[in-house]
Structure 1
Amino acid sequence: MLLPHFEPECFDVKENFACDYPEEGLIKAYNVQTGEKYPDFAEFVSFFGFNGGRDQEDIMARFLYGSSKDWNNVTCNWIKEDIRKGQDSLFSKWKQFLDSKFVGESWQGIDPVSAFTLCECGVDNKQKIVRYFTLPNSLEGVTFLEDDQPCSDKVSFSTYSSRWQNQDYETQVVDTTGCHFVHRDSDKGRGILLIALVSMLIILGLGFLIYYYRETQIMYASSQRTMAVFLTGAFFLNASYLVYVGYSPTRGRCFIRIALLTFGVTLFTGSLLIKQFYLYGLFYASPFNSRNATRTAILKRQILILTTIPVILIICWSALVSNLTPR
C-alpha cells in the first residue's frame, strides 16, 4: 500500500515506535521484499509523479529494500479518515490521474487453490500423494502456469504472474500410500518374477520328459494323465504372477489373472481326482470312464469335468464385478 504525505499518525507498537511518513511522501505499509515480485511498482509510482526531486530508482530502492515496521493499522486508519472527506478526499483525486482500466483490473488478483494427485507406483512400492496449485477460473491480466509434472522427483512449481505480482507455488509431497500392485523394478517384484519364470521353465522341462518317456514301463505305470494335469495347473498358477506383478491393475488384467488362478488351482488339486477316476475305471464301468474307451477319450472327459468348474466360477466372478469401476 502506497500513501502520500498527509498528517502523520502515531501509535504505540512494542517499543512505542513513533509512526510518521517518510519525507519522500510515500510509505511502505507492508514489507515488500523484492522488486521482481511486484513488477509494476515503478509504473504505479510514476503515475502519481512522486519524484520529490530525486531519481525514481533511488526512491524505488529505498522502499523495496529498506526495513519496515508494523504499519498495518496506519494504512487502514488513513484510508478510513480520508474517505470521510467526500469530494475533498485525496484518494479520489489520485484516481483522476489513473487510467480506469489500470485501476479496475490491474489491482485485481485471484488466489490459486490446492489440488491433489496420486502419483504412479515407485520402485519402493509407495505412491506419493502430491499437492500442487491450480487456478479456479481465468482473469484478464493474470497468467498462471500450472505444474505439468507434479510427480517429478525434482523441485517443481506452479507460477502466478500478473501486473503487480509474480509468485511461485511449490509442489509438495503431503503423504505416501502403499501401491495396489508390486512394482516390477522393485526387489520384491524382481524376486517374484524370477521365481515364477524359473518354476515355469522347470514345469515345461518336466512336461517334456513325461512326453519323451511316455512309452517306458515306469512312466506308463505312473499315470501320465495325473502328472500332465498336475503340471498344467502349476504352470497356470505361476503364469498368473506374470500378469499381476509389475503392472497397474485393469479390468482385463484382473480377468486374466482370476482365470489363470481359477484354472490353476482346479487343475492342480483336480489331478488327485483324475487319479481316483482312473482307479475307479479299472474296477467299475461308468459313463465317464468306460473300460472300452481309449486313454485319450478318458482324459478328455476328465479334463472337461475339471474345466467346467473354473468356467462356472469365472462367470460368477464376472457377474459380480461387472458394475465395479477399476482403480
Structure 2
Amino acid sequence: MLTEIPRVIVASIPSPSEGVWNIGPFPLRGYALCIILGIVVAIWIGEKRWQARGGTIGEVQDVAIWAVPFGLVGARLYHVATDWKNYFGAGGDPIEALYVWHGGLGIWGGVALGAVGAWIGARRKGIRLLPLLDALAPGVLVAQAVGRWGNWFNQELYGRPTDLPWGLKIDSDHFSGAYQASQDYRDAVAANGGIPPEFVTFHPTFLYECLWNLAAFALIIWLDRRFRLGHGRVMAIYVMVYTLGRGWIEYIRIDDVQLNDVLGLRFNVWTSIVLFVLAAAYYVWSAKNLPGREESVYADGRTTPVEAGADSEDAGDAEDEGDGGTGVTHDASTAGDD
C-alpha cells in the first residue's frame, strides 16, 4: 500500500490548507468570497440580458437589493430545516444556525425566497416577473458554479471515495460522519493496519456541479437565442437542466445529511425529481398557451430601445423582441420607487 501513496498524491486535487485568512481582527473567508463573487457575476450577466430583452440598465441591480438578501435567508432556512438536528437536536447549538460562513446554503430555499424578493423588487419597478426571471436564470447558474468553490475551501460536500486521477484530497479532520460510518472507511482502516486513512481521495462533487452549471449556462443561452424563449420558459429550462445534474451528483455525495434516506433516496434527490416534473409541466403548458416572447418587459406595456453603446449582438436581440422602432423612451422616473 505504501508504494501507492506517491501516485495518489500526484494524481489528485488538493484541498486548500486553510479557508480563512485573518487580516488584523477581520477574518476573510474563502466560502464568503465565492458567494459574493457569484452574486456579482450573476447581476452583471442579468443586467446584460435584461437590457437585451428591452429593460433598462440598472434595474437588475435595483431588484437584486431585494432578491439577494431574501435568497440568502431562504438558502439558510432550507439548510437548517433539512438538518435541524445539527442545531436544535442533542448536542447541537442553536446559535450556529446563524453561522452562514461555516457553510450550509440550500439552493432551493435560495431560489424560492430569492424569487419572492425579485417579485417585490419587480413590482416596485413596474417590471413583469417572468421576463425578469428569464433574464436572471442563466446568471444564477454561473453564480452557483462560482459558489461551489466555497465548498472546496471548506472541504465539505464531497462524494464517495474514488481512485480516479481527479479525486479530491480531504484532510482527515474533515471526514464526514457518514463516511466514517461507511464500509469504505472500515475497509480502509483495516487495510491500513487499523490506522485511519490519510491518503484517500473523494469524488470532487463541487467541481462536477461547477462544470455542469457552466455547461447548462451555455445550453440555455443557445436555446434562448435559437427559440426566443419567453414567459418563464428560460427559468423552467434552468430548473430542469440543473435538477438533472443535481440528482446524480447528490446521489454520489457522502456528506452528513439528516434526511439521507427517504424511500431509498436522499431528500435532495426527491426534491430534484419533483421540481423537474413541475418545471417540465410548466414549460409544456407555457409553450402551448403563451407562445413567443413578451413584447414588453414592463407591466404597463411600455418599451425601451437599446441604449447607445450596447454591443451589436445585444442590440440585435432587443430589436428582435418587438420594440418595433417605436422610439418610445423609458423614463426611469416612471419606473416606480427604488
TM-score range, shorter chain: under 0.3
Q: Normalised by the size of structure 2, how large is the TM-score?
A: 0.20
More helix by share: 2
Q: Normalised by the size of structure 1, how large is the TM-score?
A: 0.21
- Which structure has the higher relative contact order (CA within 8 Å, separation 6+)? 2
Structure number with bigger Rg? 1
